Amino acid sequence: MKSLDQNKDFLIHCAKTAGYRVVAEQITLATRAGIVAALLSIDSKYTENAEKIISSAFGKALVQFGVSMVLHQLPVDNPHVQALTYECLVSSIATGEGAVLNTAFSGVQDFVKNKILSIKDDSFAKVQESLSESVEEEIVQHAKTVSV
């Protein structure tokens, strides 16, 4: 069982790391929005594709990587900047790999979803069928008693 101090330290550490992650996310979002706005203002046939790429998860990863590289090259020996650089690079890798995984498994996800839905439909149909049969029997029996 962890002590109260340990829990407190753990929470503080988590909050600090989360702070860096939030800053990294917001910087990325702002940079991405800026790039997209800049691309929209350019009147070229290539910008449309570039805009699509930047707006995708891969684009986000690319922007995060770019931000981390810029921060990495800054001639500042500051622990906060270093932590932010680290967080940006980690987020970039995570976003990129996550996007690859999502693309790779989207087929599997659809298959599983459809399978579950078909199972659900089958069971629903069976229940409906058995229900209708039992109702039919009841009606027949009721009719017999009525005729008697």
Partner 1 sequence: MNTQRRFLKNFIQKTYSDSSLTQNGFSIHGGCLRDLIADKEFKDIDVFVDDFDTTIPHVIRIMRDLGVTAIRKHTKGGSIMDSTTINGLYQGELISVELAKDFNNTWDVNINELFLTKVRDKNKPFSEAIPVGIKNDFTDVEGHTLYVGTYGKSGCTLENTLADIRNYQFSVFNLYNMKIAARIEKMSNRGYTHSIDKNFNKAVMLDKPETQVMLDKPEARSTPSFLSGCLKEAGYQIAIEQVSRGVQSALVFALSGGDSSKVEFAKGVLESDFGKSLIQSMLFLIAYHIPMENEHLEKFTHNLLVSSIATSENALIDFASSKLQAVVKDSLGGLGGTEKRKAKRVRQGSTHSSETLQSDSEALDEAVLQASA
Interface with partner 1 (CB under 8 A): 10-11, 13-15, 17-19, 21-22, 25-26, 33, 37, 40-43, 72-77, 79, 82, 86, 89-91, 93-94, 97-98, 101, 113, 116
Tokens of 54: 């930047």
Q: Helix 45-55 and helix 57-73: axis angle, to 10°?
A: 80
Q: Backbone dihedral region of 43: left (phi > 0), alpha (psi from -120 to 50 degrees) or beta?
A: beta
Task: CB nearer to partner 1: give 59 or 89.
Answer: 89
Task: CB nearer to partner 1: give 94 or 140.
Answer: 94
Task: CB nearer to partner 1: give 105 or 135.
Answer: 105
Give the shortest CB-143-to-partner 1 separation in angstroms: 34
Give the shortest CB-41-to-partner 1 separation in angstroms: 3
Give the shortest CB-142-to-partner 1 separation in angstroms: 31
Give the shortest CB-13-to-partner 1 separation in angstroms: 8
Tokens of 79: 């622990």
Tokens 């069928």 belong to 129
Give the shortest CB-14-to-partner 1 separation in angstroms: 4
Task: CB nearer to partner 1: give 10 or 131.
Answer: 10
Specify the length of the chain in residues: 148
| 115, 118, 120, 126 alpha-carbon torsion, rounded to 10° | -140
**Helical H segments across the chain, by residue range:** 4-41, 45-55, 57-73, 79-147
Task: CB nearer to partner 1: give 98 or 137.
Answer: 98
